[in-house]
Amino acid sequence: MADQRVVQAALLTGPPAYEPRTPWSPVAALLATVAIVGVSVLAAVVVLGTEIVGGPSGGSSRGIWRQDMSALATLAIWQAIAVVLTVLASVLLGGRSRDVLALRPPAGTRGVYLKAVLLMALLQIAVSAVQYFFLPQDMYADLRPFVQLFGEQWVLALLVVGIGAPLSEELLFRGFLLSALARSRLGFAGGALVTTGLWTALHAGYSLAGIVEVFLIGLFFSWLLWRTGSLRVPIFCHALYNSLIVLVLRHVPLPT
């Protein structure tokens, strides 16, 4: 019955296709998520040592890593270890990665990806319009530091921000953690709010407008998972979203 429901579901019509399939309890999954983040960060610190910088404007770069490369390398190591640990955790209690992380093909036709991208574009336009009219001073506040951070390493940034971040963050938060929370009394909606809040916390340091935008796009990615039953769609949209930001920062100068 569940498989038939998934086949019939579509992005905007029919019942939602998501069905959590995980052996993890909500509390255990939450603790495991915190542990994965902590271990990944610690591993990055150990690998790069004192070369890790606190941000695009902080610290000095010594050794073989320039400041921008050091920060990007830190992110890359964190992402790689987080992906490995998340996949291992998904099978630790007898589950299957394909099920626990919702890596099944999405419900409906391949056109679901195009529809998801179009909806994401509409959401971004709406958010940008609100920022432009009500918070114009914050529109570029969160982007300027990344121009310095990426420097000339925009190809590396495209790999780390455009591919590594979507894979590691979606697998860990909306794949591993949300599947457990959705089976609790929170349900999918409550689990999505908690998961998105924790994911947004990774972006601490953004302006208020930036935090709101991250939270809204996180809820949208959760909605895509709920409707399609597959984490592949949020990963695809997240990767496209981040990649476009990197390319814009590379080719379009920000106003001063």
Residue 246 is predicted with a pLDDT of: 86
pLDDT 10s digits, 86-110:
999 999 999 999 999 999 999 877 7
Residue 99 is predicted with a pLDDT of: 96
Instruction: Provide, rounded to the nearest whole percent, the portion of the chain with pLDDT above 70.
Output: 79
| Total Cβ atoms within 10 A of residue 216 | 16
Residue 50 is predicted with a pLDDT of: 46
Structure tokens at 189: 């909606």
Task: Please state the pTM of the whole predicted model.
Answer: 0.86
Which phi and psi (to 5°) does residue 55 adopt?
A: 170, 180
Residue 249 is predicted with a pLDDT of: 78
pLDDT 10s digits, 201-243:
988 878 888 898 999 999 999 999 999 999 999 999 999 999 9
Longest Cα–Cα distance in the chain: 59
Residue pointed to by tokens 């400041």: 67
The answer to whether residues 72 and 149 touch, using CB atoms and an 8 Å cutoff, is: yes
Residues 19, 6: Cα–Cα separation, whole Å: 9
Residues 42, 78: Cα–Cα separation, whole Å: 8
pLDDT 10s digits, 130-169:
877 776 666 666 666 676 666 667 788 889 999 999 999 9
The rounded mean pLDDT for the chain is 84
Residues 242, 9: Cα–Cα separation, whole Å: 28
Residue 256 is predicted with a pLDDT of: 59
